[in-house]
Amino acid sequence: MKKRAAILLGVMILMAMALPAIVQKDDSKCKDHPLFPTRMTDYWIHHCDQKQFDSYSFTVAKGKKEAVEGQLWRISYYPQASAVSKPSQLQIQRNYENAVQKLGGTIVYSEKGLSTMKLVQEGKEIWVEVLASFTGGYGLSIMQKQGMAQDIVADAAAMANDINATGHVAVYGIYFDSGKSLIKPESAAAIAEIAKLLKGQPALKLFVVGHTDNEGGVESNITLSQDRAEAVLKALTGEHGIAPARLRSYGCGQFSPVASNDNDAGKAKNRRVELVKQ
């Protein structure tokens, strides 16, 4: 009886060895991020997610996180069930850390199972987080830092309501490159609405006030905010025919925040142009 059982067990083992290994395939909606065209050997994508604009908090020090806004990719990798062995957490982390460093990036923070990295590629700041599990699975969170494309711009009527109610209105939708005062082309819609407001109320006179976040020096921020306010004034007078006597520019620098400068979301709100009734 024991001999027959042993023979049967041997046959079952041979049959199992003869069966083709089951290969788990990537989620059909997912693919590797262009920054990392390869992955750990014998891994498949379990699931993924991509947001055109979102916020993600990256660990930058023990107990400290930094929120970054922009285009976000999240990809989860699992090892094939048929894999003979699985890499350690450290092996996964080091692979991605080395890859980022070869691209000229830096390791911001690393501890067991977690790595945060940052690099600049083609002028774009990119953040990478690797979360590696002791089970062999790991996840990537990749953020291409950028400002949100403003889909909703306050129109002239809404601006008029705020000015009549409070004497001022913050205008979001006027864009500048960091540290610069040249108005970006995507600001045209917001500036056109300011011109519409002024043309609709011929007696209205406005201060055009520039504001910054707290990045950089105090004096340089005052100068920058003044230059940006002046750029908006010139766009209104030069491109839309508003009489210069109806406008005055002023730079407030970082001295009138409307949100905390401790995170990127607050800084974005503080970088603004306000219209104040004279």
Q: Are 195 and 188 contacting, i.e. CB atoms less than 8 angstroms apart?
A: no
Query: pLDDT per residue over 114-151, tens digit each?
Result: 999 999 887 789 999 999 999 999 999 999 988 656 56
Alpha-carbon gap, residue 211 to 148, rounded angstroms:
18
Q: Give the predicted TM-score (pTM) of the model.
A: 0.54
| pLDDT range class, residue 19, cuts 50, 70, 90 | very low
pLDDT over 50 at 106, yes or no? yes
Q: How far apart are the first and last CA of the chain?
A: 103
| pLDDT at position 89 | 97
Mean pLDDT of 96-110: 95
Mean pLDDT of 229-251: 97
pLDDT over 60 at 50, yes or no? yes
Residue with tokens 């916020």: 55
Decide which of 15 and 29 is more confident: 29
pLDDT over 60 at 107, yes or no? yes
Alpha-carbon gap, residue 54 to 68, rounded angstroms:
8
Q: Are 243 and 199 contacting, i.e. CB atoms less than 8 angstroms apart?
A: no
Alpha-carbon gap, residue 100 to 56, rounded angstroms:
19
Alpha-carbon gap, residue 42 to 91, rounded angstroms:
14
The structural domains of the chain, with segments of one domain joined by +, span 22-145, 156-277
Out of 1.20.120, 3.40.1000, 1.10.287, 3.30.460, the CATH code matching 22-145 is: 3.40.1000
- Average pLDDT along the chain: 89
Closest by CA position to 159, among listed 205, 186, 207, 193: 193
For domain 156-277, the CATH class is alpha beta
pLDDT over 80 at 5, yes or no? no
